[in-house]
Amino acid sequence: MTAIAHNAKRTTARDLYPSRTGGDYRLLPRRDPVACGSPADGPLDEASLDRYVRDGSLHLPGFFGQDAIAPLIEELECMRDDAAITRREEAITEPGSGALRSLFAVHLLDCATAELCRHPRIVSVARQILGSAAYILQSRINYKPGFHGREFFWHSDFETWHVEDGLPRMRTLSCSISLTENTAMNGPLMLVPGSHHSFLSCAGETPEENYKRSLKRQDLGVPDPAHLERMVEDGGLVNATGPAGSVTFFDCNVMHGSGSNITPWPRSNVFVVFNSVENPLSAPFNGLAPRPEFLAHRKAVDIPAPARREVTLL
Ligand code: 6CS
Ligand code: FE
């Protein structure tokens, strides 16, 4: 489809979260609930669900034991050294060193990861927060190797997914599963509690195929210093540290990022993004062609509901 045809579609759809439309940075109200389910719908009790709604994230250290994670670590190490994998378009390399930075659609490339992403204990939380059936919108591993693992600058995932993929509403969450220990030193995920309650509409306009650049180093759809400073002043900062197997659920619009890793210890995490089946992708709001399927799966394939006995939280 041409850019003109996409633009034509854009003018008819109502955009609740305009961003990169040539204006200045500005905060807009969030128009969607943070959680649609209740304590009766899944393993999170009222206090945990309330915390997720308030902060925009829930960190659960030691969620999985080493035994659940070990097969994955082995597989993902092999993939990193496999040229048949690293020359695929899903493989994103670090800007300087050329080391493998991210591998997308990893749940389609590796069986152990496919199983983990659909683990009943993960899926039951996703379904509870979304208040509906869920499907995998995106999956990836961020390797963040020792010595040269580069940062992920501050951003709201929703901003990119809305503008570049056409994700209409904030009914989406990420789940980060750590494969290595995450410490304060090796570039853990950092989040700004409460930042998900507003949408930061960003300045600039999106060039075609922006993802080829942004996945190595993001410079569009990132906050300006004044807004970021204000958000951190209001909500503070938290980091998601803990042993391998720790899990963090976080809202699609929470401001987050992670620093570079110059320690010898890699910081590898698998991320799986669950979208509500009631929130299917539309045409991208920037009027450009959609990003490739490996970044945003367009077909909503329901993950079956886990059996009740499988859904204990810890
Ligand atoms: O563009 C994306 O979809 C990805 N980029 C970042 C920096 N975070 C989320 C997502 O994987
Ligand atoms: Fe992100």
**Ligand 1 centroid to residue 308 C-alpha, Å:** 32
Looking at per-residue confidence, does 82 or 25 come out higher? 25
Ligand number with the minimum distance to the CA of 257:
2
Q: How confident is the model at residue 68 (pLDDT cuts 50, 70, 90)?
A: confident
Assess whether the C-beta atom of 156 lies below 6 angstroms from ligand 1.
no
Mean pLDDT for 29-44 is: 96
| Nearest atom, ligand 1, residue 102 CA | 11
Q: What is the pLDDT of residue 128?
A: 97
Q: How confident is the model at residue 291 (pLDDT cuts 50, 70, 90)?
A: very high
Assess whether the C-beta atom of 90 lies below 6 angstroms from ligand 1.
no
Under a CB-based contact definition with an 8 Å cutoff, are residues 149 and 266 in contact?
A: yes
Q: What is the pLDDT of residue 293?
A: 96
**Ligand 2 centroid to residue 184 C-alpha, Å:** 18
> Mean of the per-residue pLDDT values for the chain?
92
Each residue of 259-284: pLDDT tens digit? 999 999 999 999 999 999 999 999 99
What is the spatial distance between Cα 253 and Cα 94, in angstroms, rounded to a whole number? 25
Pocket test for ligand 1, best of 19, 157, 298 (most atoms within 8 A of CB): 157
Assess whether the C-beta atom of 294 lies below 6 angstroms from ligand 1.
no
Assess whether the C-beta atom of 55 lies below 6 angstroms from ligand 1.
no
Q: What is the pLDDT of residue 229?
A: 98
Q: How confident is the model at residue 7 (pLDDT cuts 50, 70, 90)?
A: very low
- Domain layout of the chain by residue ranges: 45-301
Assess whether the C-beta atom of 104 lies below 6 angstroms from ligand 1.
no
Assess whether the C-beta atom of 160 lies below 6 angstroms from ligand 1.
yes
Is the pLDDT at 154 greater than 60? The verdict is yes
Looking at per-residue confidence, does 78 or 304 come out higher? 78
Mean pLDDT for 154-180 is: 97
HEC string for the chain: CCHHHHHHHHHHCCCCCCCCCCCCCEEEECCCCCCCCCHHHCCCCHHHHHHHHHHCEEEECCCCCHHHHHHHHHHHHHHHCCHHHHCCCCEEECCCCCCEEEEECHHHHCHHHHHHHCCHHHHHHHHHHHCCCEEEEEEEEECCCCCCECCEEEECHHHHHHHHHCCCCCCEEEEEEECCCECCCCCCEEECCCHHHEEEECCCCCCCCCHHHHCCCCCCCCCCHHHHHHHHHHHCCEECCECCCCEEEEECCCCEEECCECCCCCCCEEEEEEEECCCCCCCCCCCCCCCCCCCCCCCCCCCCCCCHHHCCCC
Assess whether the C-beta atom of 158 lies below 6 angstroms from ligand 1.
no
Lowest mean pLDDT among 64-68, 198-202, 269-273, 276-280: 64-68
Q: For tokens 């987050």, what's the residue?
A: 256
What is the CATH topology of the domain spanning 45-301?
Answer: Jelly Rolls (2.60.120)
Q: How confident is the model at residue 309 (pLDDT cuts 50, 70, 90)?
A: low
Global pTM reads 0.93
Q: What is the pLDDT of residue 2?
A: 37
Is the pLDDT at 40 greater than 90? The verdict is yes
